[in-house]
Chain A
Amino acid sequence: MTGTAPPAKPRPVVQPWARPFWEATREGRLALQYCRACHVHVHYPRIACPHCGGDRMEWRTASGRGTIYSYTVVVSNAPSAFTADMPYVVAIIHLDEGVRMLSNVVGCDPDALRCDMPVEVVFERIDDEFTLPKFRPIEA
């Protein structure tokens, strides 16, 4: 792998019905779909509600708060585009709205992370088009 630049970071391959999610992150908001028939949030965004199959879906701004369901600190053998980021944290966040999201936990000592630790969203702009929602521990 010497002599060649690492490949560019993979950018989200966006489905048309998920555009409001990415538009919101650009504005520094976390937006989630909500089914007005089932009265539940849905993530990731779907073309129809995965519970009732209906299309009474609307976008709501989420609290941006949740807990770490599980996490891992990547220290070696990452995909090429991520080797320069090591160590980095991949985590599944359980949002207070009852849905899960895969993300990174940033701005923390990786050794201090624990399952079920409370976190809040932060926004990381990667280019003009994409801002990724990431999470950091909430200070006790």
Chain B
Amino acid sequence: MSRGKTAIVGIGEIPTGRHPDRGAISYALEAARLAIADAGIAKDEIDFVIPTTAVFSFQFSNELTTCRLVEELGLKSVSANATVFSGGSSSTNALRIASALIETGRARCILFVHCDKLGTGVSAQGGIDLFSTAGISMEWEVPFGQHYSTVAALATQRYKHETGTTDEELSAVCVSNRKWAELNPNAFFRKPLTLEEVMASKMLATPLRAKHSNMLFDGGAAFVVTSAERARDLVPRPAYVLGEGGVVTHFAYHQEPDLTRFGWASAGRQAFAEAGIAPSDIDVAEIYDSYPIYQLIAMEEIGLCARGEAGAMHLRGDTWPGGRLPTTTDGGMLSKGHIGAGGSVSLLVEAARQVMGKAGARQVPNCRFAVETAVGGTYMDAQVTILGNEP
């Protein structure tokens, strides 16, 4: 790929929450219409649609794959509707594929849409059971009681052992992300959260506590990607795609060679090299935070701080509103809420929003460069995207 040839020109998002009376399709349609309007295009300029999977319902996901969005939105100029799904890294992979299609002339204007209904479409225990098998080996892990809390706890335990990071520093991630969620009307948890509350919350799987865990909700978001040339004519501040990097490391979690690092270092190097900037140039970091441990590891490994330092940064307030390195400014999965593949859709949309200067109370001043990270399955891949306000 080449730097700055494509851009996100429109974003749309509905508030994360519990909407038992609304069908999931309504979130997708509303987010898509917002994104199309934001891009300042007519709906029939969309010539390619990329939905991603909604985890709550196989039937509904099949409807998205079989062109329901194209029909419901009344899009008349679509050459292809093709689902891209890689769990939590779906947004990044969709953007990567969209950029390639646009650069090669296969598409001009691509709509990506995500929605899910994990807050009201499945029961609480159903959610635990669903995530005790999704991306977890049925032969080598499921029979031993592996599930998403143990997956995160295993990385947290080893990381603490190797870096000396404390429970207080780990918990500071939750506090930092909540400070941003307080400023985000689309976030579910908007009341202040203290370090004491996090550390007193129910233990799930040592050393992981309830408030270290994301919660599942309903929601949806969408974005529109087009060429850099077209972008300049459409909107005053497109979010140009400057760099992308990725590394796939494993399927079964126990096969990951280093649970304290994953593939982030290489993914980060690729993305920064393509963008032609250094980690120190980054104005805002949107870091995949399904559990605090992953926010710490990704920040360190992509070079935003030294190994073992990320926890202290969160405790000191470097990552808070007004801090030196605003991080996960939509509140993340820990406070905005987890909507399946939507975790990184939210973060990518927020990265674009910051670069486009549309983040309202959360706007980082003079935001030129944003880095976003995404990861799917049981942290099977490390995906890094860099957006900027100039091509």
Contact = CB atoms under 8 A, between A and B. Distances in A.
Interface of A: 1, 9-15, 18, 44, 69-82, 85, 88, 90-92, 100-104, 110, 115-116, 130, 132
Question: How many residues of B sit at the interface, in one of the four size bands?
Answer: 35 or more
Interface string B128-158: 1100110001111111111101100111011
Given A90-B144, A102-B253, A132-B144, A76 B139 contact: no
B129 A80 contact: yes
Nearest to B140: A44
A75 B208 CA distance: 10
B154 A13 contact: no
A131 B128 CA distance: 26
A35 to B, nearest CB: 16
B32 to A, nearest CB: 34
B206 interface: yes
Interface of B: 125, 128-129, 132-133, 137-147, 149-150, 153-155, 157-158, 161, 202-208, 210, 252-255, 259
Contacts of A12: 138-140, 143
Contacts of B205: 72-75, 77, 90
Contact of B145 (A15, A104, A110): A104
B148 to A, nearest CB: 10
A70 B155 contact: yes
A70 B158 contact: yes
A81 B125 CA distance: 11
Contacts of B145: 74, 78-79, 81-82, 85, 88, 90, 104
B143 A9 contact: yes
Contacts of A69: 158, 259
B118 to A, nearest CB: 15
Contact of B157 (A71, A100, A101): A71
Contacts of A13: 138-139, 142
A91 to B, nearest CB: 8
Choose among A14, A18, A71, A79 the residue with the greatest number of B CB atoms under 10 Å from its CB: A79
A132 B143 CA distance: 9
16 contacts: A10-B138, A10-B142, A12-B140, A18-B139, A72-B208, A73-B205, A75-B205, A76-B203, A77-B204, A78-B147, A82-B145, A102-B137, A102-B144, A104-B144, A104-B145, A110-B206
A16 B292 CA distance: 39
Given A1-B125, A76-B204, A90-B153, 7 more contacts: A12-B139, A12-B140, A13-B138, A70-B157, A73-B205, A101-B254, A104-B144
A110 B203 CA distance: 14
B149 A100 contact: no
A15 B254 contact: no
Given A1-B125, A44-B140, A75 B206 contact: yes
A12 B133 CA distance: 12
B204 A75 contact: yes
A122 B165 CA distance: 33
Contacts of B206: 72-73, 75, 110
A85 B150 CA distance: 14
B248 to A, nearest CB: 14
